[in-house]
Amino acid sequence: MWPRLEARPERSRVMVYLTPLVAAALTALAGLVMFGALGYDPVEALYVFFVAPLTTSFGLSELVVKATPLVLCALGLAVGFRGNVWNIGAEGQLILGAIFAGGLALWAGDANAPWLLPAMVVAGMIGGMAWAAIPAFLRTRFHANEILVSLMLTYVAGLLLGYLVHGPWRDPAGFNFPETALFGDSAMLPALIEGTRLHAGALFAIVAVGAVWVLLMHSFIGFQVKVIGLAPRAGGYAGFSQARVVWLGLLCGGGLSGLAGMVEVAGPIGQLHPQISPGYGFTAIIVAFLGRLHPLGILLAGLFMALTYLGGDTLQIEMGLPRAMTGVFQGMILFFLLASDVLIHHRVRFGPRRAPAPAPTSTPEPETGGTA
Amino acid sequence: MRNPAGILTRRALTATVAAGVGLATLASSALVSPARAADDPLKVGFIYVGPVGDFGWSYQHDQGRQAIEAEFGDAVETTYVESVPEGADAERVLNQLAAGGHDLIFATSFGFMNSTIKTARKFPDVMFEHATGYKRADNVATYAARFYEGRYVIGIIAGMMTETNTIGYIASVPIPEVVRGINAFTQGLRSVNPEANVKVIWVNSWYDPGKEREAAETLFAQGADVLTQHTDSPAPVQVAEEKGIYAFGQASDMSQFGPNAHLTAIVDDWHGYYIDRTRAVMDGTWESTDTWGGLDSGMVAISDYNPILPPEVVDAAEDARKAIEAGELHPLAGPLMDQVGQVVVAEGEVPDDAALLSMDWFVQGVLGQVPK
In this predicted structure, the answer to whether residue A346 has a pLDDT above a threshold of 60 is yes
Residue among A54, A313, A321, A330 with most chain B CBs within 10 A, to mutate: A313
Chain A to chain B Cβ contacts (< 8 Å): 88
DSSP letter string over B83-107? S--TTTHHHHHHHHHHHTT-SEEEE
Q: How confident is the model at residue B169 (pLDDT cuts 50, 70, 90)?
A: very high
Q: Please name the residues in contact with A122: beta carbons below 8 A apart, sequence gap of 6 or more.
A: none
* Cα–Cα dist B181/B186, whole Å: 8
Judge residue B8's burial from the number of C-beta atoms within 10 Å of its C-beta, 0-12 exposed, 13-18 middle, 19 or more buried.
Answer: exposed
Q: Is residue B159 part of a domain?
A: yes
What length does chain B have? 372
Shortest Cα distance from B300 to chain A (angstroms)?
Answer: 22
Tens digit of each residue's pLDDT (9 = 90 or more) over B6-47: 333 333 333 333 444 444 433 333 333 434 445 689 999 999
Q: Are residues B244 and B312 in the same domain?
A: yes
Q: For residue A355, what is the DSSP state?
A: P
CB spacing of A275 vs B85 below 8 angstroms: yes
* Cα–Cα dist A293/B278, whole Å: 51
Choose among A182, A276, A322: nearest Cβ to B114: A182
Cβ count near A348 (within 10 Å): 10
Q: Are residues B277 and B214 in the same domain?
A: no
ipTM of the complex: 0.82
* Cα–Cα dist A30/A37, whole Å: 10
* Mean of pLDDT over chain B: 87
Q: Which residues of B touch A173 (CB under 8 A)?
A: none
Q: How confident is the model at residue A355 (pLDDT cuts 50, 70, 90)?
A: low
Q: Is residue B136 part of a domain?
A: yes
Q: Are residues B12 and B123 in the same domain?
A: yes
Of B215, B111, B204, the residue nearest B168 (C-alpha): B215
Domains annotated for chain A, with CATH where assigned, are 20-170+179-349 (1.10.3470)
Q: Is residue B35 part of a domain?
A: yes
Tens digit of each residue's pLDDT (9 = 90 or more) over A73-130: 999 999 999 999 999 999 999 999 999 999 999 999 888 888 999 999 999 999 999 9
Sign of the Cα torsion A69, A72, A75, A78 reads negative
* Cα–Cα dist B206/A330, whole Å: 26
CB spacing of B96 vs A309 below 8 angstroms: no
Q: Are residues B141 and B155 in the same domain?
A: no
CB spacing of A178 vs B173 below 8 angstroms: yes
Q: Are residues B279 and B228 in the same domain?
A: no
CB contact, 8 Å: B99 with chain A? yes
C-beta of residue A254 within 8 angstroms of C-beta of residue A128: yes
Tens digit of each residue's pLDDT (9 = 90 or more) over B255-310: 999 999 999 999 989 999 999 999 999 999 999 999 999 999 999 999 999 999 99
Percent above pLDDT 70 for chain B: 89
Which residue in chain A has the smallest CA separation from B132?
A177
Residue B224: which domain range? 149-267+305-362
Q: Are residues B187 and B120 in the same domain?
A: no
Q: Is residue B367 part of a domain?
A: no
Q: Is residue B155 part of a domain?
A: yes
Q: Are residues B263 and B335 in the same domain?
A: yes
The residue-averaged pLDDT of B53-75 equals 92
Cβ count near B37 (within 10 Å): 9
Q: Which residues of B touch A278 (CB under 8 A)?
A: 85, 87, 89
Q: Are residues B153 and B218 in the same domain?
A: yes
Choose among B87, B93, B96: nearest Cβ to A269: B87
Q: Are residues B122 and B178 in the same domain?
A: no
Residue A108: what residue type?
A
The total of structural domains in chain B comes to: 2
CA distances from A17 to A11, A20, A349 (A): 12, 6, 20
- pTM for the model stands at 0.82
> What is the CATH classification number for the domain harbouring B67?
3.40.50.2300
In this predicted structure, the answer to whether residue A362 has a pLDDT above a threshold of 70 is no
Highest-pLDDT range among A2-6, A147-151, A227-231: A147-151
Q: Is residue B372 part of a domain?
A: no
* Cα–Cα dist B202/B173, whole Å: 7
Which helix (H) or strand (E) is B366 found in, with range? strand B366-367
CB contact, 8 Å: B100 with chain A? yes
Question: What is residue A353's predicted lDDT score, i.e. its pLDDT?
Answer: 64
> Given B280, B297, B314, which residue is the final one in a domain?
B297
Secondary structure class of B265 (helix, strand, coil): strand
In this structure, of A57-66, A195-204, A344-353, B308-317, the range with the lowest mean pLDDT score is A344-353
